[in-house]
Amino acid sequence: MDNTTFGVQLKKYRESRNLSQQELSDLLDTSKQVISRYETFQRIPKLSVVSQYAKKLGISLSYLLGDTDDPYADGKSDTQISPTKQALIDRIMTMDDSTLRWLLDTLDRI
């Protein structure tokens, strides 16, 4: 998930359901400000949060991650992730671009 995909997908879903940011935030038990920050790419949630949102909205995790255009695609396998992989993903999501490039270069050498 890049810095914009989740925000784009969340906004697309919200608008397709004719929901305001406040209405969506109420469904997700968060604030309107958090929804706004996601949609304007000022904030990126952890994968575990995106997974919780998908479950609350009854849509696939794959849709919110931008892997499919179908919000109702079968995402059952997407929600199965080990704690170790989740911890790694959470750490990666906080890294800046230069650190990510270094990490990719390092992984390529393994």
How high is the mean pLDDT in each 10-residue block of the chain (110 residues)? 86 94 95 97 93 92 90 60 74 88 90
Position 78 scores a pLDDT of 43
The domain tally of the chain equals 2
Helix axes 47-57, 5-16, angle to 10 degrees: 10
Give the Cα separation of 38 and 43 in Å (integer). Answer: 5
Residue span of the structural domain in which 64 resides: 1-79
Same domain, 28 and 74: yes
Give the Cα separation of 66 and 5 in Å (integer). Answer: 6
How many CA atoms does the CB half-sphere of 106 hold within 13 Å?
Answer: 6
Beta carbons of 72 and 62 less than 8 angstroms apart: no
Question: pTM of the full predicted structure?
Answer: 0.65
Whose tokens are 């794959």? That residue is: 62
Same domain, 25 and 1: yes
Position 53 scores a pLDDT of 95
